[in-house]
Amino acid sequence: MATYKTIAKTVKAEDGREIHYSEVLTGLTYALDLPLAQPAGHTLRTCWIGMHIGRQLELPPDQLWELYYTLLLKDAGGSRIGSRLFELFYNDDLVVQNAYRKLNRQQFKDVLRFLNKHAGIYEGTFGQLSRIINLLIQWKAVTAELSKVKGEAGAEIVKNLDLPEAVAAAVCAVDEHFNGKGQPQGLEGDKIPLYARIALLTQVVDAIQAEDGKDAALAEAEGRSGTWFDPQIVAAFKSVAEEDAFWAGLTCAELRAAVIKLEPKDKVIILTEEKLDDLAQAFAVIIDNKSDFTKGHSARVAEYAEAVGKLDGMDMPSLRQLKRAALLHDLGRLGISNAILDKPVAITKTEHEMTQKHAVWSEEILGRISIFRQLAVVAGAHHERLDGLGYPNGKKKDDIPGDSRIITVADIYDALTTTRPHRERMDNPKAFEILNGMRDGALEGKYVDLLRKNVE
């Protein structure tokens, strides 16, 4: 197992206590639930279920610790397949992801029902039929591709966070099935990493229990024992499922606090400034993975915002906060469908109203994390305008934090200078012509000038 390097600069809470890394990561997992369209807290619930199974299997602390981070990050690659799902199914990827998580992909009749309900539903009878036939013909290749892309994207995030190789390998293998009929490699039995075998069961069990209750989840676990699931893990799950407290935990308002405590005590990672930067960088990649049109957007906005802040004379700690907020400003976009994000023509008014929710969700999710309370307000206001005509709250000049005003300028500049589904990228003179037209009414003129100075 990789050793964890200790860095001196720890982040302290307001009351002076050290903060656990898992306090931030568990809060951010609400963003990982969004592209899967799972009820909020899905990742936390799978962690709760999986850690109980791990304890029941009497795993040693080192393995429980690796299992813990596997469970928290197993869907870090989930946003990477949004664009592809939209392309393959020509349907809202959120609806498809939600149904796909519960689908028994080894049962032909279930697959057929799934495709009939979700593929090409807006294409007319002939279009839908030909899409279903094409998907059926390529079904094995399609599911393997989705598992591979998602798994590899997730593993990359794990590595960027400096977590052990065993966690990355497990994140890559969550879609493997015990009988060798899973993807992407068709691994069988104990050739599948143990943490991945546990994670697979947890995600199916949670998706089903959240919708149809615990008896349905238990029946599904038993029904897929030996095909999807390792029978030994199903047996451990059935044992923990006998405890009422186990089920009560899943719906408990304090679930996140309980999950934070599940990290093995002698292995707890203490939060440092560097680790916080790494988390912001990693989640920026997760956000930008959502659409092929936003690759690198959050990182570039952070780079521009930081440059503007520097030219404005901000000190280093303030610049660090600004950069983190810029990296995370679009966190809520993970909950917007690729049917909107990737739409090849201009979006409708209703779709525009839908996209506006992303700013609210960014603030909501970040606001759950105590050390991000201020950052959450900054991120939530990145579409506000000085004249009060922005969204989501129509805040005016003095109510909009300075960091938000910088991020807004950087955000619009990046949007204008990159290709979007319905238009080509603009060159710098054209982009600044537009930014100048928005100065003082919508944007802070000073920051437009500083950005121009930096770009030039």
Q: Contact positions toward Fe ion, by CB under 5 A? A: 330, 411
CB of 355 to Fe ion, least distance (A): 8
Q: Please, which residue, 75 or 411, has the CB nearer to Fe ion?
A: 411
Nearer CB in complex with Fe ion: 206/411 = 411
**Nearest distance from residue 362's CB to Fe ion, in Å?**
8
In the bound state with Fe ion, the residue whose beta carbon lies nearer, of 216 and 455, is 455
8 A C-beta contact, residue 305 and residue 358: no
Residue 80 or residue 383: which is nearer to Fe ion going by CB? 383
Contacts of 253 (CB under 8 A, 6+ apart): none
Q: Which is nearer to Fe ion, 403 or 411 (CB)?
A: 411
Q: Give the separation between CA 383 and CA 388, rounded to whole angstroms.
A: 10
Closest CA to 268 of 260, 258, 276, 280: 260
- Closer CB to Fe ion, residue 66 or residue 330? 330
Quote the least distance from Cβ 387 to Fe ion, whole Å: 18
Task: Work out how close the CB of 407 gets to Fe ion at its nearest, in angstroms, rounded to a whole number.
Answer: 8
Nearest to 50 by CA among 32, 26, 69, 71: 71
- Contact call for residues 386 and 396 (beta carbons, < 8 A): yes
- In this structure, what token pair is assigned to residue 231? 């029978």
- Pair 115, 138: CB distance under 8 Å: no
Query: DSSP letter string over 173-222?
Result: TTT--TTS--SSS---GGGS-HHHHHHHHHHHHHHHHHHH-HHHHHHHHH
Which token pair is 58?
């009497």
Residue 109 C-beta-side C-alpha neighbours within 13 Å: 0
Nearest partner of 325 among 433, 208, 405, judged by Cα: 405
- Looking at beta carbons only, is 224 or 405 nearer to Fe ion? 405
- Can you tell me the distance from the alpha carbon of 306 to that of 318, in angstroms, rounded to the nearest whole number? 10
* Minimum distance from residue 148 beta carbon to Fe ion (Å): 28
CB of 406 to Fe ion, least distance (A): 13
* Closest CB 242 distance from Fe ion, rounded Å: 46
Is 271 or 301 the residue whose CB approaches Fe ion more closely?
Answer: 301
Helix (H) or strand (E) holding 96: helix 93-102
Q: How far is the CB of 358 from Fe ion (least distance, A)?
A: 6
Q: Are 307 and 324 in contact (CB under 8 A)?
A: no
